[in-house]
Structure 1
Amino acid sequence: MPSTAHWSYFSYFLAHLLISSGAATTLQAQSAESKSNQPNIVIIFCDDLGYGDLGCFGHPTIQTPHLDRMAAEGMKLTQFYSASPVCTPSRAALMTGRLPIRSGMCSNTKRVLYPDSAGGIPESEVLLPEALKEAGYATGCFGKWHLGHLPQFLPTNNGFDEYFGIPYSNDMDRAADSPRGRAAFNAPEVEYWNNPILRGTKEIERPSHQPTITKRYTEEAIRFIKENEENPFFVYLPHSMPHIPLFRSEDFAGKSRRGLYGDVIEELDWSVGQILQTLREQNLDHKTLVFFTSDNGPWLTHGLQGGSAGLLRDGKGSTWEGGMREPCIAWWPGTIPAGTSTAELGSTMDLYVTSINLAGGKVPDDRPVDGYDLTKVIKENSKSPREVMYYYRGQRLMAIRKGPWKAHFMTQASYGQREPVVEETPVLYHLEYDPSEVHNVAEQHPEVIAELTELAEQHKSGVEVVPSQLELRLGKTE
């Protein structure tokens, strides 16, 4: 028969084992609960979509039933901004939550990155997929990247588990024998452009077959959602359309009353419908936050090949409202009140902070981050923490908005005007009275001019201008 000492030791061992087992079970349960509280995050990012191009934002003939339903089931954000009026800087801001001037992803001489660019998103930046991956998310990017096409800059080397898409704008790598000028855009053919499609870092197709590109991006995103439905995931779906050249599949050819441009938008609407329906069918809709917006305004100088900024002034390339205010819809059934609309300020940079916080991740605290958390805005239709928007064109601070007031210190049309006009007295608009920026009220409100001028100077004094990544060229040392 075992001694009292042996029984005492055995009892201690058994109790320790039970406690350890219970602790492990508790930790596992806490981990499972933590994962269940992490929403899936989907960001659908169009290219050159205008504020007035959707049915739910006022277009009279382009039919967008899926986006209209998304808005009816979620929230419209009517005063929502990109951080730049052109592609590369705008995308850098979305991915980093920072003004592009802070990362070197803008320039006064080069608007965007090109196939001969040597630069790209700096390794020191903490991209959204990196922060979400750290929080336990599967991450996939399906579409246009435009933050550097060399291997070190591509999505799978910057936090994404998967990538499928065109690494820059779909009008780049133009074939030498394509029609000159705008003739190639007026009647676009696949062989006029030689841009590639990558899977990961490997080229799998050149030239990309652009008529099917919207469908293929969508199919890749749906596959990724289904393969990762048991764990939290982040899907970034940056469409190549409606950037010129405009392409749509046969299913949408001639479908819209708005012609080719309308066909393209209606196929994008179909894509959104496919994503949302997949989430419903997989019972993921109540645990998934979806944002739909665009990188900048419409390319108006391309006439009918470009979209509409609605009642907003100008378009892509300008810091007038039409260049940077974007249609935005947030959708999360059961969490975002259905059929709501907010005129609170928001920005693509805010999606960075909002997503990381909802995921239980860590927003970098070792650098300036320009985004704000919009969780209460979308969940409770409450006041936005964002009070100020800075309007940069390249490295120049052109304008600033605080509350309803917007002051332009420099003005420049979207394209065709080589240098900005420096305003002796800033031009002032009350955007909630005058979103079209028609009525300059600077003379009536010198105190507002003084406040915004001081705010702009304070901001500029706190911004370190780092060397531009956009000005680096392959084969050159600079």
Structure 2
Amino acid sequence: MLNRRSFLKLAGVSLASAAVPSLAKAAEAGKPGSSPNIVLIYMDDMGYADPVCYGGKGYSTPNIDRLAKQGMLFTDFHVPQPVCSASRASLLTGCYSNRVSIEGALFPDSKKGLNPEEETIAEILKKRNYKTGMAGKWHLGHHREFLPLQHGFDEYLGLPYSNDMWPVDFNGNPAKSGWKKDCPPLPLIEDNEQVDTIDTLEDQDTLTTRYTERAVKFINENKRRPFFFYLAHTMTHVPLGVSEKFKGKSEQGMYGDVMMEIDWSVGQVMKALENNGLEEDTLVIFTSDNGPWLNFGNHAGSAEPLREGKQTTWEGGCRVSCIMRWPGQIPADSECDKLASTLDILPTIAEITGAPLPEKKIDGVSILSLLKGDENANPRKHLCYFYQRRLCAVREGNWKLVFPHTYQSYEGVEPGMDGHWGPRVKRKAELALYDLKNDIEETEDVKDEHPEVVKHLQKFATKARAELGDRLKNVEGSEVRPPGLHKQSK
């Protein structure tokens, strides 16, 4: 299994430790019930191996790499569903998306959204008097009652869903066939109102800069009070967009250009924190919503050495890069190989800030002990791998049990190029057990050698199905809560 040092050596990044700020200076920030600022940077379709500190090649990401040198890099960090809306629902609520009935990706004709009765990170932090803001892709319902301001955010600028959900084809021309032709113009929302439309590929080029400028503005305006800012980049989702300042700058091509602009964005955010004297009292989290969309070829990222990518529950779809930085609290230049998930971000933030957990049941656990560098800590025992309402695999420690299911595979198929969709092949996964410690590529089924592990994980899966449902077994789930339904559709 490749660890962080292997990746850094491969990428030519220095292993020298960054200086750690005085623990005494940051001691107050580390106490439960304190009020550090929180910046959560969430990428779209960025592969596990895309940042240079995870092995990315053909471009540079010095600001992201600096985050890793100054904080903690996770090598076993997961999303519970490898697709847009479901992943974001889990991130913001600390719940499996099946529990809150947000599966897959919501389209512009969807009548669903995140139920207003669910509590988000922003909402629990409002109870601790945090100022909350967001820029970027929302994708949890585009109707007014589902937008960010109705889920705890004080301000918002961004797209309500994915940037390919527009009436434009792969060449930037009006779509004349397929589902795209029925999409409305792509709306840019500010707070609760549409203020612009994203009509062309050139408009897409502006998105990373627009979001970054909003993040910097928010930091500058709220430096004297605790704040939470959620920067949910549209990139690296296709169609790729990159500003003139980064076009043609990487050896890798347009995808590399986009990664370099994202790295610039991280740098701008960190500079704003530094300029306002907030660097040491801010927890910065950098991660992604799922793995790369591999059938877009050179316009997709990399999950190497992991198997498959987005829309599959193999490691390449669900394991994502994650870096957390909090000077004086998170050990600098450190690595965590323990199992953790985006589910765990909400309860971790709650423990740090003293914010109350949501009243309804959640699935996340606090990983503050991991952030503190406790080598004996292991807060997450299990993980479910869902795709839509199918329980495709479960995890305990290094063991992953895969259940029989069909999936759309990218392996052995010629991908699309230059922003064009490539083919996929439907394949069947059989019951299999993988030891991810020794087989991160998921190539060797060891169920026959470890029948007791299979039996143990099947027992856990039965309990998970009973709670959250599983269409593979025709189980509805006793603890599934309803989604929000657009009021005109009720």
Give the alignment's TM-score, normalised by structure 1: 0.85
Matches within 5 A, 1:121-200: 121-175=114-168, 178=174, 194-200=185-191
2:240 paired residue among 235, 246, 258? 246
The Cα shift of 1:380 comes to 2.2
Q: Indicate the structure with greater helix content.
A: 1
Residues in 2 aligned to 1:420 and 1:125: alpha-carbon distance in whole angstroms: 36
In structure 2, the residue matched to 1:207 is 198
Matches within 5 A, 1:239-318: 239-318=233-312
Matches within 5 A, 1:43-192: 43-106=40-103, 111-175=104-168, 178=174
The Cα shift of 1:267 comes to 0.5
2:309 match: secondary structure = coil
1:450 match: secondary structure = helix
Identity %: 42
Residues in 2 aligned to 1:132 and 1:78: alpha-carbon distance in whole angstroms: 28
In structure 2, the residue matched to 1:369 is 362
In structure 2, the residue matched to 1:6 is none
Gapped runs of 5+ residues in structure 1?
1-31, 185-191
CA contact (8 A) 2:240 2:255 kept: yes
Give the alignment's TM-score, normalised by structure 2: 0.83
Residues in 1 aligned to 2:310 and 2:59: alpha-carbon distance in whole angstroms: 20
In structure 2, the residue matched to 1:27 is none
Structure with the greater alpha carbon radius of gyration: 1
1:102 match: secondary structure = coil
CA contact (8 A) 2:284 2:324 kept: yes
| Aligned residue identity for 2:260 | E
CA contact (8 A) 1:117 1:474 kept: no
| Aligned residue identity for 1:196 | P
Deviations 1:21-56 (A, max 9, x none): xxxxxxxxxxx9999931111110000000011100
Residues in 1 aligned to 2:256 and 2:78: alpha-carbon distance in whole angstroms: 23
Summarize the Cα distance change of 1:474–1:171 in structure 2 as closer, same or farther, 3 Å threshold.
farther
The Cα shift of 1:466 comes to 3.9
Deviations 1:408-443 (A, max 9, x none): 0134434577977463xx201100111110111111
| Aligned residue identity for 1:135 | R
The Cα shift of 1:212 comes to 1.1
Residues in 1 aligned to 2:31 and 2:70: alpha-carbon distance in whole angstroms: 26
| Aligned residue identity for 1:140 | G
2:442 is the alignment partner of 1:437:
yes
Residues in 1 aligned to 2:321 and 2:292: alpha-carbon distance in whole angstroms: 11
The Cα shift of 1:467 comes to 7.2
Gapped runs of 5+ residues in structure 2?
1-28, 410-422, 469-477
CA contact (8 A) 1:197 1:206 kept: yes
Deviations 1:39-90 (A, max 9, x none): 1111100000000111000122231111111100101011000121000000
> Structure 1 residues 267-276 or 459-468, which shifts more?
459-468
1:398 paired residue among 376, 392, 395? 392
Aligned-residue CA RMSD (Å): 2.6
Summarize the Cα distance change of 1:317–1:174 in structure 2 as closer, same or farther, 3 Å threshold.
same
2:353 paired residue among 337, 356, 359? 359
Residues in 1 aligned to 2:215 and 2:406: alpha-carbon distance in whole angstroms: 38
